[in-house]
C-alpha cells in the first residue's frame, strides 16, 4: 500500500462514519444493485418520454424531474450511482443526505470498492462531481466527512493524483492554499503511462485528465475555504495558463483560440475575475498616487519649513557670533580696566604713602621742638598747621579721584 493510501485511510478513520480500508474481496452488491436500479429507473422514465439514454442528452435528462425521483438510502448507493453516471453532474438532495446520515456506517470494504470503481474512471471524471454534490451538506457531520473521504480515496486510487491526495487533506487541516499539490499537477505530463491505469494515452485524453485533476483540486480548495476564486484564477494564470500564450503570439492565433470557447459563461467568469483584479489594482494605484501626492505636498511643506528653520539657524549663528565677539571685547575691556585700576591704585597708594611719610616727618619735628627746654610751641603749631593743610589737600585729591 502506498503512502497516500495510508494517509487517506487515516483520514477516513477520523471521520464520523469511520471509513477504513478493508480486505474483503466481495463488493457491496446491495448498494451496487440499488444504484443500478435507480439508474435503470431513471433511464426507463426517459425512454417513456421518448429520449435515448445513449445520447449525450441522457446526462441532462437524468438531472430533470424524472431523475429527481432517485433515492439513496446509503453512502454506498450514492457512490455507486455517481460512478454509473460516468462524470455527469449529480445532485445529492437534502432528503437523501438525511437518509445517508441516519443509515449505519459504511461497511469496511467501501475503500476497496472505490479503488475498483476508479479503474473505470481513467480520466478522473467522477471525483469532482462527488465533491460538488457533497458541498451543500457541509453542516451534516455524518455526511460531509464520509463524502470528503470518498473524494480523497478516489484521488488516492488514481495514478495521476495518488501523490497529492494527502497534501490536499493536510492543506485543509492547516487552512492554507495547497500550492505544492497544484505545482505538481501543473508541471505533470499526464500522457505518461505512470499516470494512467494502462499505457500512454492520447493528447486529448491527457488534456482531459489534466483538466479534471486541476478541477478537482480547485474545487477542494474553494469549497474548504483555502482561497477565493480570484486568488485561484490568479494562481492558475501565473503558473499554468500564461504558458499556453507563449505559442499564441499573433492576434490571429489568439482569435482562433478565443473562437473555440462556446460557453460565454466560462469566458465571462474569467474576464470578470481579471476585470475585478484590474479594478482592484487601479484602486490601489489611485490610492498609492493619492498617498504619493500627499507625501509630495508634505515634502514641499517640510522643505519650506526646513528653509525657514535654516534661515533662522543662520541668523542665530550670526547673532551668537556677534555676542561672542561682544563678550570677548568686554572681557578685553574688563581686563584693561582692571589693569588701569591697578595702576591707578598703585599710583595713589604711592602718593598717599609719600604724603603720609612727609607729614609724619613734619609732625616729628614739631614734637621735637615742643620737647625742648624751653618748649618752642610756635614751631609745633606751625608744623601741625602745615601737616593738617597738606593732609586735607591730599584727602580732597583722593575724593576727586574717586569721582573720575
Please report, in tens digits, the pLDDT of each residue of the chain (404 residues total): 333 343 433 333 333 333 323 332 333 445 555 555 555 554 454 444 443 333 333 344 344 434 445 678 889 999 999 999 998 998 898 888 888 888 888 888 899 999 999 999 999 999 999 999 999 988 888 889 999 999 999 999 999 999 999 999 999 999 899 999 999 999 999 989 899 988 888 999 999 999 999 999 999 999 999 998 888 888 888 888 877 777 666 777 777 777 777 777 767 777 777 787 788 889 999 999 999 999 999 999 999 999 999 999 999 999 999 999 999 999 999 999 899 888 888 888 888 888 888 888 888 888 888 888 888 888 888 888 888 888 888 888 878 876 56
DSSP, collapsed to helix, strand or coil, labels residue 374 as: coil
What is the rounded distance in angstroms from the CA atom of residue 86 to the CA atom of residue 133?
14
Q: Closest by alpha carbon to 32, among 107, 84, 70, 69?
A: 84
**pLDDT confidence of residue 25:** 33
Q: How many CB atoms lie within 10 A of CB 219?
A: 19
C-alpha cell at 9: 485511510
What is the rounded distance in angstroms from the CA atom of residue 82 to the CA atom of residue 129?
8
* CB contact at 8 A, 68 and 81: no
Q: How many CB atoms lie within 10 A of CB 136?
A: 16
DSSP label at residue 69: G
**pLDDT confidence of residue 40:** 55
**pLDDT confidence of residue 247:** 67
What is the rounded distance in angstroms from the CA atom of residue 26 to the CA atom of residue 328?
114
Helix (H) or strand (E) holding 7: helix 3-13
Beta strands in 19-68 (DSSP E): none
DSSP label at residue 106: P
Distances (CA, A) of 138 to 97, 146, 223: 10, 11, 9
**pLDDT confidence of residue 125:** 95
C-alpha cell at 239: 503558473
**pLDDT confidence of residue 103:** 87
* CB contact at 8 A, 221 and 178: yes
**pLDDT confidence of residue 393:** 85
What is the rounded distance in angstroms from the CA atom of residue 236 to the CA atom of residue 317?
65
* CB contact at 8 A, 189 and 147: no
**pLDDT confidence of residue 157:** 93
Residue 312: CB partners within 8 Å, gap ≥ 6? none
**pLDDT confidence of residue 266:** 67
* CB contact at 8 A, 4 and 165: yes
Alpha helices in 157-263 (DSSP H): 165-174, 179-187, 203-223, 229-236, 242-244, 251-259
Q: Closest by alpha carbon to 115, among 165, 74, 73?
A: 165
What is the rounded distance in angstroms from the CA atom of residue 32 to the CA atom of residue 76?
8
**pLDDT confidence of residue 165:** 92
DSSP label at residue 66: T
* CB contact at 8 A, 143 and 151: no
What is the rounded distance in angstroms from the CA atom of residue 323 to the CA atom of residue 132?
88
Q: Where are the domains of the chain?
A: 3-227, 275-402
C-alpha cell at 98: 438525511
* CB contact at 8 A, 175 and 225: yes
Q: Closest by alpha carbon to 247, among 261, 257, 233?
A: 257
Distances (CA, A) of 13 to 156, 211, 376: 15, 30, 151
What is the rounded distance in angstroms from the CA atom of residue 139 to the CA atom of residue 54?
36
Amino acid at each position: 500500500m502506498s503512502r497516500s493510501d495510508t494517509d487517506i485511510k487515516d483520514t477516513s478513520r477520523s471521520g464520523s462514519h469511520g471509513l477504513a480500508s478493508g480486505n474483503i474481496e466481495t463488493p457491496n452488491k446491495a448498494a451496487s444493485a440499488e444504484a443500478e436500479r435507480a439508474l435503470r429507473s431513471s433511464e426507463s422514465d426517459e425512454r417513456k418520454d421518448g429520449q435515448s439514454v445513449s445520447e449525450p442528452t441522457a446526462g441532462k435528462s437524468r438531472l430533470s424531474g424524472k431523475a429527481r425521483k432517485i433515492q439513496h438510502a446509503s453512502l454506498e448507493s450514492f457512490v455507486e450511482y455517481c460512478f454509473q453516471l460516468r462524470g455527469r453532474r449529480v445532485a445529492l438532495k437534502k432528503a437523501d443526505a438525511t437518509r445517508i446520515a441516519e443509515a449505519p456506517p459504511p461497511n469496511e470494504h467501501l475503500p476497496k470498492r472505490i479503488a475498483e470503481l476508479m479503474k473505470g474512471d481513467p480520466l478522473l471524471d467522477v471525483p469532482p462531481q462527488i465533491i460538488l454534490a457533497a458541498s451543500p451538506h457541509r453542516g451534516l457531520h455524518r455526511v460531509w466527512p464520509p463524502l470528503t473521504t470518498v473524494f480523497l480515496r478516489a484521488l488516492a486510487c488514481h495514478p495521476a493524483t495518488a501523490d497529492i491526495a494527502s497534501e490536499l487533506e493536510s492543506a485543509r487541516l492547516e487552512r492554507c492554499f495547497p500550492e505544492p499539490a497544484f505545482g505538481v499537477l501543473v508541471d505533470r505530463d499526464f500522457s505518461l503511462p505512470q499516470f494512467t491505469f494502462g499505457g500512454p494515452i492520447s493528447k486529448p485524453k491527457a488534456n482531459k485528465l489534466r483538466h479534471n485533476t486541476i478541477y478537482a483540486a480547485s474545487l477542494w480548495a474553494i469549497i474548504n475555504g483555502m482561497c477565493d476564486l480570484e486568488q485561484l484564477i490568479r494562481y492558475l494564470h501565473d503558473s499554468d495558463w500564461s504558458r499556453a500564450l507563449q505559442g499564441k503570439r499573433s492576434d490571429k492565433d489568439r482569435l482562433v483560440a478565443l473562437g473555440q470557447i462556446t460557453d460565454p459563461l466560462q469566458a465571462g467568469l474569467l474576464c470578470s475575475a481579471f476585470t475585478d483584479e484590474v479594478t482592484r489594482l487601479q484602486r490601489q494605484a489611485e490610492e498609492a498616487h493619492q498617498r504619493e501626492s500627499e507625501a509630495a505636498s508634505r515634502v514641499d511643506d517640510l522643505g519650506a519649513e526646513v528653509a525657514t528653520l535654516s534661515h533662522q539657524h543662520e541668523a542665530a549663528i550670526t547673532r551668537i557670533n556677534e555676542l561672542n565677539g561682544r563678550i570677548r571685547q568686554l572681557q578685553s575691556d574688563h581686563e584693561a580696566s582692571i589693569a588701569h585700576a591697578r595702576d591707578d591704585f598703585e599710583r595713589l597708594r604711592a602718593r598717599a604713602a609719600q604724603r603720609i611719610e612727609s607729614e609724619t616727618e613734619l609732625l616729628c619735628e614739631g614734637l621735637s621742638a615742643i620737647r625742648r627746654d624751653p618748649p618752642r610751641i610756635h614751631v609745633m603749631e606751625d608744623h601741625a598747621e602745615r601737616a593738617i593743610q597738606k593732609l586735607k589737600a591730599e584727602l580732597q585729591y583722593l575724593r576727586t579721584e574717586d569721582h573720575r
